[in-house]
A and B are shown apart, each in its own frame.
Chain A
Amino acid sequence: MPFSSLDTAAVARALSQVSDREDDWVDALFERIEEVELPPEGEAPGFRVRREEGLAVRLVRGREAWRASRDGVGSAIFADALRQIARSMPIATYPEPMLAMSPWGKAPEADEMAEFPLAVGRAVRARHAAFPLKMTMRRHRRWLQVVGPRLVPAAEREAFYSLAVEASWGRWGTLAVELGDGLAEQVAEVLVERFRARQAAAPTSGVTSVALGPGATAVLLHEAVAHALEADTLGASGKPAAALGVRLGPEGLDVLDDPARAPEGVRRATDDEGQAVLRRWLLRDGIVEQPLADATWSRAHEVLLPGAGRRASRHFAPAPRSSHLELAPGTTAEADVRRGGALYAAEASRGQLDPWSGRFVLELPCGRRGGPAGEPVGGFRLTGTVGDLLGKIAAVGDQPVAAGAGWCAKGGQKLPVWASSPSILLEGVEVRA
């Protein structure tokens, strides 16, 4: 950990100086980020490294908040940021804390990434397909340490890979905690499916039944459940606490957010505000139980529990967001769920929720008729309101798998999100070509 030589006790003492009212909330975030990128073959520069570190301090007093963020970590930098958020400072202050991060090590290498595009190419050819594609791979590492005047949680670390593919038929991307032949096979499967469906006709618009594979289901739940139940989304249109107890889905629909059960490498014990994460039942039996909340929303509404505060970096404010979404397994065999709809879609390219109207659009880049082995169809969209769409879940598969990992963009912040889900079957949903 780069924070082993950070004097967190001295930081906590310094923070306590600006927290001069009983209900003040003050904290500091120290952060180090490394991103190693391998561009598509033939692009210059050929190997890309971004290494950054910095800090942010924050004071929350009632309905007001002050934040200061800096690139770089050092005593003077911290003291300057602290002065900027302080409403008052004692005449005699503690000495500036000695802040030092362990130095960056030698230049990173990326041998494991260099092999991966070749493995994907082999797996594509093994499926008797060949097409040009540009693949950009990135290895992301982030270390963070939150310090409060009374609480200093353990430092956290995240490490994962992202993959972005550009081809003549469009773009596709995913996140993974490790590279290997298994992932290469999965990537090839998706790419070949998209390639073969590139000229397929879209299904006719109308009301029909649609089975969604785990990847598409994860995107649906991320947009229709997680975003809909973020305290800031609920707060913009009303009181977040009023959502508790509202039926949003059918009986038997259990959706959770549990950062502690995310894949090894991105698993978290505390959130980006240093609050302990929890196994949060967003929907239990289809009823809203506990929306996503960060410390600020939790302080304003005591029925909301903190632990879901996330920030893309020190330069952003924490906001309530999901980390690892889970759809609890149902009782129907996976194969029956996937074959149960007039249309089947394994992957979704994106979803979009209008928080004001509750209207929701899920974009599916391609699909098949009648199940995974059916005739390919071109891209289509599912539309409806959140309550309407979730109410049409007729079956949930019995085998959840890790799926649908990707980037979530909201409010200018881009965050990695993870999920575990079985397939679902939707009856009587509106499909648009």
Chain B
Amino acid sequence: MTGGPLESVLRAVTGREGAGEAEVYWKRGRSRRLEREGLETAAAAQREEGWAVRAGTDRGSFFHAGTGAPSPDVHWPQPDGRPLELPSRAIVGEPAPWREPPELDAPLVGEKEGFALLAAIEDELQAEVPGARLVTARLDDGGSEVEILNSRGLAARYRQRAAYLRVEALDRRGDEPRVAVVEFGMREARLLPAKAVARRLADRLHVARHGQPVDRDRADLLLAPAVSARVLASLLPLFLGPEAGKLAERLGGSRDRFGSEMVTIVDDGRFPGGLLAAPADGEGVPTRAVTLVERGTYRQALLGLREAPTVRGVRPIGCARRPSWRDLPAPGPSHLYLQPGTMGVGRLVGGLTRGYFLIALDGAPRVDWTEGRLQFPASGFAVEAGRAREPVRNTWVTGTIATFLRGIVALGRDLQFEPFATGGLIGAPTLLVTGLELRGAGG
């Protein structure tokens, strides 16, 4: 499958005295970034190319990475520390067929086209909120190609494509300025919906200007994907790593009643249309969908190759994340999401007799893992008789993690993903949750 520079480097590294296993990783990428800050604009074009070698003997191991194409003419470091374990072809088995998405061949967004998109967002925003403007806007569009080859017979090659938009809007009317931020990811910059982005900004500015904290209340909550996905991301230790299962049992009391019947959580490295969809992970192990929670029952955690027990006939998950050639592969989600339902958001709002529709987080969620408690500050609207009423903001939602997961009673069909710190994506649809409490500013 692969050859050329990777094979020659592999031969050079494994040919050294006492060398055992080795892996060569090569990533090439190009991207365009268009930025607006006030009246200033900047267009940047990047081309990146780097390689990384992991190699080891029974006495130690090393990692060496550098720019350019992999070359055998490198001064390799001395192995140190623990030996290395690399995945083998025999363990991972035959990969499932993979068809590259067609968007991968589309050219990167042009300068004029990209700035026109940002201008369109501002125009739409001003139509909704007269006087508002974009203070900063950043549009990234890029593609990359990865090749991996290791001495245990594993080889992979794949391409990826992603565009990412971050806009920050300002409304200067009134006593103090109000700011709203919206982030959006798509395969291609051209697919980014200017009108939808502007509407989200307008909603958030409206809530920021007119919203008041809720003193104290207990009512049904609708959490928009911008809230639900980030809350799910804050609970990632429940789904990732060798301690996750124990933590889930301790906080939930039982694996069988981890969440409500509505809760099915999946991580899928091949998620259709996903920004990070690829046939293999950062170590070349074929990716696949794995169900972590099924209809409220905790099934398993996301475990790296060396964390999972080897079970005959069960293929590894393929969840080693490797954002760049500088990074070592580490277990992590690619597209971890709460499976959506079939209801439209309008129907969910319309069915709410009394409650709140929370559309944005005002800060990072806080999780107390000792007590099993969760709280997050959010903004949105009070809802009465199925209609949005007065805006609310900086209102803290509090409760236990178990209450949150068991209190999910309905799911929208609007699954959206949010970027996660380690380079993966966490997704959720609009959720209807019962049992959580709202408190005023301060939590």
Contacts and interface: CB of A to CB of B under 8 A. Distances in A.
Contact of A72 (B46, B49, B82, B179): B49
Contacts of B78: 47, 107, 109
A70 interface: yes
A52 B136 CA distance: 31
Given A49-B64, A72-B67, A65 B43 contact: yes
B37 A50 contact: no
B38 A44 contact: no
Nearest to A40: B81
Contact of A106 (B50, B63, B75): B75
A44 B47 contact: no
A233 B163 CA distance: 26
Given A47-B63, A236-B135, A317 B42 contact: yes
Given A105-B75, A237-B177, A45 B49 contact: no
B81 A39 contact: yes
Contact of A64 (B42, B56, B63): B42
B67 A71 contact: yes
Nearest to B326: A50
B62 A54 contact: no
Interface string B52-75: 001110001111111110000011
Interface string B19-47: 00000000000000001011111111111
Interface in A208-245: 232, 235-237
B41 A64 contact: yes
Interface string A336-370: 00000000000000000000110000000000000
B85 interface: yes
Interface string A36-50: 001101111111111
Contacts of B50: 52, 71
Nearest to A41: B81
Given A43-B82, A45-B63, A72-B68, A65 B179 contact: no
A108 B65 contact: no
A324 interface: no
Contacts of A64: 40-43
Nearest to B23: A45
A356 B177 contact: yes
B176 interface: yes
B80 interface: yes
Contacts of B47: 69-71
B83 interface: yes
B75 A52 contact: no
A315 interface: yes
A68 B48 contact: no
Interface string A17-58: 000000000000000000000110111111111111110000
Contact of A45 (B38, B54, B176): B54
Interface in A47-96: 47-54, 63-72, 81, 84
Contacts of B62: 45-49
Contact of A47 (B74, B81, B328): B81
Given A47-B81, A69-B44, A69-B46, A357 B60 contact: no
Contacts of A65: 40-43
A321 to B, nearest CB: 15
A46 B67 contact: no
Nearest to A72: B68
Contacts of B79: 45-47
A49 B67 contact: no
Contacts of B56: 44-45
B63 A49 contact: yes
Nearest to B44: A67
A70 B30 CA distance: 9
B43 A67 contact: yes
> Most chain-B CB neighbours within 10 Å: which of A48, A65, A69?
A48
A131 interface: no
Interface residues of B, number: 46
Contact of B77 (A70, A108, A317, A356): A108
A255 B81 CA distance: 45
Label chain B's interface by main secondary structure: strand
A309 to B, nearest CB: 14
B76 interface: yes
B352 to A, nearest CB: 32
A42 B45 contact: no
A226 B80 CA distance: 41
B348 interface: no
Given A42-B82, A46-B81, A63 B43 contact: no
A169 interface: no
A44 B66 contact: no
Contact of B61 (A45, A49, A81, A109): A45
B411 to A, nearest CB: 33
Contacts of B135: 236
Given A52-B67, A232-B37, A45 B81 contact: yes
A53 B67 contact: yes
Contacts of B83: 44
Nearest to B75: A107
Interface in B356-399: none
Contacts of A67: 42-45
A125 to B, nearest CB: 23
A232 B37 CA distance: 9
B240 interface: no
A18 B154 CA distance: 47
B84 interface: yes
A18 to B, nearest CB: 14
A64 B83 CA distance: 52
Contacts of B64: 48-51, 107
Nearest to B38: A235
Contacts of A105: 75
A169 B83 CA distance: 29
A105 B47 CA distance: 25
Interface string B73-115: 0111111111111000000000000000000000000000000
Contacts of B76: 107
A404 B84 CA distance: 36
B86 to A, nearest CB: 10
Contacts of B61: 44-47
A84 B47 CA distance: 11
A8 B35 CA distance: 30
Contacts of A43: 81-82
B177 A66 contact: no
Contacts of A235: 37-38
Interface in B315-352: 326, 328
B37 A236 contact: yes
Contacts of B82: 42-44, 46
A44 B77 contact: no
B39 A63 contact: yes
A47 B63 CA distance: 6
Contacts of A47: 60-63, 77-81
Given A46-B80, A52-B50, A108-B77, 10 more contacts: A45-B84, A47-B81, A50-B64, A63-B39, A64-B41, A68-B45, A104-B66, A107-B75, A107-B77, A237-B177
7 contacts: A46-B60, A47-B79, A49-B77, A70-B47, A109-B77, A315-B46, A356-B177
Interface of B: 35, 37-50, 54-56, 60-68, 74-85, 135-136, 176-177, 179, 326, 328
Q: Sorted from nearest, which 9 A-B pairs have the closest CB atoms? A: A46-B81, A46-B80, A47-B80, A45-B61, A71-B67, A44-B82, A67-B44, A65-B42, A107-B75
